Structure 1
Amino acid sequence: MTAPCDVPWRRLDGRMLVVAPLQHVVRLLPVLVILLFTGRGDPVRLWITLGITVVLIVLGVIRWKTTRYRITGDRVELHSGWVRRQRRSVPRDRLRTVDVTSTLLHRVFGLGVLHVRGASSAAADHHGLKLDAVSAAEAARLRTELLHAAPSPGPAEVVSGDSRDSDYRHSQVLSTLRWPWIRFAPLTVSALAGTGVLVAAVWNVVSELGLRPRDLPFAADVEERIRGAAIWLTVGVLALVLLVVAIVGSLLMFTERWWGYRLTRDDDGTLRVHRGLLTRRSLSVAGNRQRGAAVSEPLLLRAGRGAQARVLATGLGRGGQGGALQPPATRREAHLLAAAVAGEPVERSTLAPLRRHPRRALWRRLTRAVAPAAALCAAGWAVATTVPGWYWLGPLTTVLLVLAVPVGFDRYRNLGHLLTARHLVTRWGSLHRRTVVLERDGVIGWRIRQSIVQRRAGLVTVEAVTAAGEGGYPVTDVTAADGVALAAAVTPSVFDSLTPLGAEEPAGDLTAQGAGRGPQERLDHR
C-alpha cells in the first residue's frame, strides 16, 4: 500500500472559476430582460449584483489556490481555506455515499460537484467532503477509486452526471419510464410544493422590479369583470387558475426529474437508477447494502391508485433522494418492483396477507382519529355561534368529525405484520400508508414503546431498528406477548440478557407477559 506521504495532492478543475460567477449571472437574467425590454426596475440593484459577481470571481481564485485534496489507501483528505483553514479527513471504510451533482451549467463545462460523506448521524456538512468542482472524467475516476477499490464494500452512492452505456453491459433492466405514469404527477405533494415555490419566486422578482399586474393592457377589463361578478364565482375562477398552474407545473417537474428513467440490476446485485433531464442523476446501491424495500402511498397518490417503491439500504435515509426506485406508478407495479428488489414473490412480501392486530387496536385507532376531530368540532361551533360571519365554521368541522370515523377504521385495516423466513413485513398508516419488507438480518435491535393508553389496553409498539432507510420501522399496537415473541424470533441474541422475574427492575423497562406462555419476562430498552 502506498504511504500517505507519497500520494500527491490534487487541485480542483480551473473551469470552476467560470462556473460560479456564471451561476450568479444566470439568476440575474430575468432582471436584465425586464430592464432591457420594459425600462423598469432599479439599476442600482443591477450594479450591486455585478459587483457581487466580481467578488465571487476573486473569492473563486482564492478558493482554487488554497484547496487541495488527495485519496490515500485508507482516507480521503481535503485542505481548504485561506483566512479560515480547514482540514477534513474521512476514513474510506466509513464511506456511505458518494454524490456527484452536475447541473446544466456544469455539464456545459464538463464539470461536477463531488460530495463524499461518512457514516454519522450528524449533518453531512460536518462529516463529509465537498469538491466543487472537478472534471467529469475525474469525477468518474474518483467514484471508481472510492467505491470499487475501497478497502470495505462499496457504499450506497448517489451520482448525478452523464451515465455510461457500459454500466448496462451486464445489467438486467427492471424498469423503464412509462409516460402514462405522468398522470400521478399532480398527486405528489413534492411536485405541488415545488410548483408553489417556483411561482412564489417569479412573483417576488416581478414585485421587486416594481411591476404590477394591473398595469398590463388587459388587466383593467379583467378587474372590472371581477368586481361585477359574484364572490363565489370569483373564488371559483381563481381556484381553477391555481389548479391549472399546479397541474402544469407538476407535469413539467415530473418530466425534468424522471426523463430517461431506467432501473437496472448488475450481476453483483447492485441497483442503478438513472434519470433526469437538465440535471442527470444516478442512484447506485450495492447489493450487500440492500436491506429490503418499501412501498409508499401518500393520501393523494393512494386516492389515484398509485404508489412509489423505494429501496432500504445502509447509507440511504431520508436524504440522498430517499432511495426512490421509480417514479410514482400504479400500485400494482410499485408492489411488483418492491418484491423484485426484496427477492420474494409479491404474495410473500408487500402484498402478502398480513396478521391482524387485536381488536383493542381498533378502538385505539378510532380514539386517535376521533378525539382531535371532536375537539376541533367543539371549537368550531363555539366560534360559529359567537363570531358574526363565521357561521360556516361549525358545519365544516362537523364534516371533519364525520370523516374521522372512516379514517380510524382504515388505519386499523392497514395495520398488520408478517414474519417470513427472510423478511419482516409490516404495514401501517392511512393518510400515508407504508408497507415495508425488511430483511431479518438487517435488524440490529428493538425499541418497545408503550404509552399510558396502550398500557391500559395491553398493547405495545415494537420498532425494528436497522441501519438502513429511516433507521426503524414499527409494528404498531400488538399485545406485549406478541411483540416480545416477534422480537425474539427475529433476533434471539437480543434476549440473551433478559432478567428473570423477581429480579430488581430498572426504571423505564417494559414488562411483557404472555398469557399461557410460561413465566413473565422483561425486555430492556435498547
Structure 2
Amino acid sequence: MNSVIDGQWRRLDPKTIAAAATLVLAPLVPTAAVMLLSAAKAATLLITALIWVGIAVLIAGYTAAEWWVTWYRITEERFELRHGVLTRNHRWIPRERIRSVDLTADPGHRLFRVTTVKIGTGGQHEGNDLKLDAISRHHAESLRQELLFGTSSTSDTVAHGDPDTVAHVAVGTAAASAEVGEAVLARLNPSWFRYSALTFSFVLIVWGAIGSAVGSFSELLKAFGFFDSLAHAVLVSSLWLVIAAGLVIALVVGVLGAIALSVEMWWGFRLTRERGDTLRVKRGLLTTRSVSLEERRLRGVELAEPLLLRWAHGARLHAVATGLNQKQEEHQPDNKTLLPPAPREEAQRVAAEVLREERPPTEGELRGHPPAALRRRITWALVAAVPFITAAVVAAMIGWVPVAVPAAVGVVAVAVALGFAVDAYRNLGHRVDDRYLIARSGTGIRRTVALQRDGIIGWRITRTVFQRRSNLMTIGATTAAGNSIYEVHDVSTGAGLAMAEEAVPELLAPFLQRG
C-alpha cells in the first residue's frame, strides 16, 4: 500500500464512467413511462430510447477518454493534475497555497461510492481551483485530511484492485482521523425545517419546477383530460372561487415543496471546527456536500432575515470570507452558508462561536439614521404604489372591475407601501465596536453584517442629487471578502465620515478637506 504523498501518478476511479452513463440514462425510465401513458407509438418510443442510449454511450466514451488521460499526484511540495482530451493541461498548486478541499457526491456518484474533490486556493477566480471528478470516497477523505492538515492517515485506496479489506481499514482510519480535534458548533434540529416554509426563495424554486414540469408533460396532461377538467371547473364555478382555490393550492404545494427542498439540501447538517482553525459544513440527503473554510480567511458574518422568516424570529447565517467567488456564489449561494434557516437566537449563538466572541457582534443596539432617510423611503414606496393604482383605474374605466375597486386598491397599496417604508427605515443602523463595523439594512431581506475592521481596505462614498439635498450619503466599506463592499445606506454626512474614521483611523483622512 502506497502513501498518499508518495509522488506516484494516479488515475481517477474508473467507476466514474459508469456513474456518468447512469446519470444520463436515469431520466429515460420516467420518460418512457410518460410516453406509454400518453399512448405514444412503439416506433416513437423505440427511436427515443435508441437516441437516449446513443447519447449515453457518447458521454460514457468521452468520460472514458477523459479518465484515461487524467492523472494526479501529491508530493511534499505541490498537488499536480494532468487532464484534457482535446487540449492537454498540466496544472499544479503549491501545497502551502491550498485553502479548501470540498467534497461533493450526487446520487450517481453515491451509487458507485465515488466523490468529486474540489481543491481551492482561496482566490477570487474559479480557474484557480482544481477538481477531481471523481475518486473513491474513502480516498477522498484521506486526501482532504492530507492536503488541509498535512497528516495522511490512510493508505491509497484509489489504486485498482485494492481488496475490500483495505477499503474497510481506510474507512475506519479516515473516520478516526476526522474526529481528532473536531468540535461541533451546530447540528441540525429537525424542527428547523418549519422555517424553510417561510423562505420565499425556496417556494419560488418549487413553483418554477412545477411550471417547467407542466410544460414538459403537457401532452400527457392533455391525454388525461387535465386541461379540459380545469376549463370545465372554471365555467361552472365562480371566477373568484377558482382563483382562491388556485392560490390556496399553489401556497400549500409551494410550502410543502420548500420543506422537501430544504430537507434535501440540509439533511445531516453539521458545522464543526477541525484542528482548531478550519470550519467545515457537511450536509445533504441525495447529494452530499462537505465545504471547508479556514478561519484566517474569515472576515465576519452576515445575518440574513427574509421578511416572513423574520416575523417567525428566524434567520440564516452566512460567512464573509476571502476566496468566495461572487459570480459562483450567485448560482450556489449555500456554499457560504454556515447555518440554514433556524431560530434567530441559534444563529446569534453560532455567529459568536464562529467568530470566537463571547457575544455575537450582530446583536445589540445600532445607531439610527436621520429622518431624511425615512422621507426618501416613503417617496420610493409611494412611487412603487402608482402602477397598481393606475392599473386599477384603467380596469375600472374599461369596465372590468367595479368603480369602487380603484379606491380600495389605492388605500391598500399606499398602506402596504408606507408599511414597507417605515420597516426599511427602522432596519437602518450601524455601529463601530472594538473589532467590528456592524451595518444593517433591508426590509424584504434584512441583512446585518459584522465586518472585521482590520479587513477593511478602503471606502466608497456615493451621494446622489437627492442625497446631497438632504445631507445624506451612502458609504461602503470595501474588503477582499464576500461581496467586496458592504454599505451603510443614507447616513448623515458627518456621522458617515466619523464612522469611517473610527473604524479605520487615517484611511479616509488624506482625501478629506477640513472645514
Shift of 1:297: 0.5
**Deviation of 1:118 (Å):** 4.1
Task: Spell out the pairing of 1:127-146 with structure 2 (5 A cutoff).
Answer: 127-146=128-147
Q: Using the alignment, how far apart are the partners of 1:477 and 1:93 within structure 2? A: 43
Of residues 178-187 and 28-37 in structure 1, the stretch that sits farther from structure 2 once superposed is 28-37
Taking structure 1 as reference, are residues 12 and 367 closer, same or farther at Cα in structure 2, changes over 3 Å only?
Answer: same
Shift of 1:429: 1.0
* Identical amino acids, percent of aligned pairs: 35
Q: Secondary structure at the match of 2:52?
A: helix
- Alignment CA distance shift 1:342-1:394 (3 Å): farther
Aligned pair partner of 2:467 in 418, 430, 454 = 454
- Cα pair distance change 1:397/1:343, threshold 3 Å: farther
- The question of whether the paired residues in 2 share the 8 Å contact of 1:181 and 1:328 is answered with yes
Displacement of 1:176: 2.3
Residue of structure 2 in register with 1:15 after alignment: 15
Q: Look up the match of 2:250.
A: 242
Supply the distance in 1 between the matched residues of 2:95 and 2:378 (Cα, whole angstroms).
50
Paired with 1:190 and 1:500, the residues of 2 have a C-alpha distance of: 42
| TM-aligned CA distance change 1:175 to 1:120, over 3 Å | closer
Q: 8 Å contact 1:291–1:438 — kept in the other structure?
A: yes
> Which one of the candidate residues 100, 110, 114 is aligned to 2:113?
110
TM-score (norm 2): 0.84
Counterpart CA distance in 2 for 1:86 and 1:22 is 27
Alignment of 1:275-354 (within 5 A): 275-316=283-324, 319=329, 321-346=334-359, 349-354=361-366
Query: 1:52, CA displacement in angstroms?
Result: 0.7
What stretches of structure 1 of length at least 5 have no aligned partner? 1-5, 151-160, 502-518, 521-526
Are residues 1:215 and 2:218 paired? no
Instruction: Quote the residue 2:377 is aligned against.
Output: 365
User: Which residue does 1:24 correspond to in 2?
Assistant: 24
> Is contact 2:280–2:293 with CA below 8 Å preserved after alignment?
yes
2:489 pairs with one of 462, 476, 495: 476
Distance 1:393 1:78, change over 3 A: farther
* 8 Å contact from structure 2 (residues 431, 438) kept in 1: yes
**1:413 maps to which residue?**
426
CA distance in 1, matches of 2:131, 2:292: 19
Q: Which one of 31, 56, 59 corresponds to residue 62 of structure 2?
A: 59
C-alpha separation in 2, matches of 1:492 and 1:107: 52
Aligned-pair Cα RMSD in Å: 3.0
SS in 2 for 1:284: strand
Q: How far is the alpha carbon of 1:74 from its aligned partner?
A: 5.2
1:432 to 1:89, Cα distance in 2 relative to 1, 3 A: same
- Shift of residue 455 of structure 1? 1.4
* Contact 2:100/2:294 (8 A) holds in 1: no
- Per-residue deviation at 1:431? 1.4
Are the aligned partners of 1:384 and 1:394 in contact in 2 as well (CA < 8 Å)?
no
What are the Cα deviations for residues 420-465 of structure 1, in whole angstroms up to 9, with x where unaligned?
1111111111111011122222222222221111111111112122
Supply the distance in 1 between the matched residues of 2:303 and 2:108 (Cα, whole angstroms). 35
1:341 Cα deviation after fit: 2.4
Q: What letter is aligned with 2:378?
A: L
Q: Tell me if the contact between 1:425 and 1:435 (Cα under 8 Å) persists in the aligned partners.
A: yes
Question: Any idea what the Cα deviations from partners look like across 1:311-348, whole Å, max 9, x if unmatched?
Answer: 222223652524222221122222232233233344x6
Measure the CA separation in 2 of the matches of 1:499 and 1:37: 72
Q: CA deviation at 1:467?
A: 2.2
Q: Confirm or deny that 1:272 pairs with 2:280.
A: yes
Please tell me the residue identity of whatever aligns with 1:67.
T
Shift of 1:66: 2.1
Structure 1 residue 389: Cα displacement:
1.7
CA gap of 1:283–1:85, structure 2 versus 1, over 3 A, is: closer
Superposed counterparts of 1:486-497, under 5 Å: 486-495=499-508
Query: Structure 1 residues 258 and 164, CA, compared in 2 at 3 Å: closer, same or farther?
Result: farther
After superposing the two structures, state which structure 1 stretch, 6-15 or 304-313, moved more.
6-15
**TM (normalized to structure 1)?**
0.82
**Separation (CA, whole Å) in 2 of partners of 1:174 and 1:117:** 24
Equivalent pairs, count = 480
Query: Is contact 1:373-1:401 (8 Å) kept?
Result: yes
Q: In the alignment, what sits opposite 1:442?
A: 455
Q: Tell me the distance in 1 between the aligned counterparts of 2:480 and 2:512.
A: 30
| Paired residue secondary structure (1:455) | helix
2:27 and 2:451 map into 1 onto residues whose CA distance is: 44
Partners of 1:46 and 1:352 in 2: CA distance? 62
Deviation, structure 1 residue 298: 0.9
Q: Deviations over 1:79-130 (max 9, x none)?
A: 33333334444455554543321012212212111223445444x2x34323
Q: Which structure has more RCO (C-alpha within 8 Å, separation ≥ 6)?
A: 2
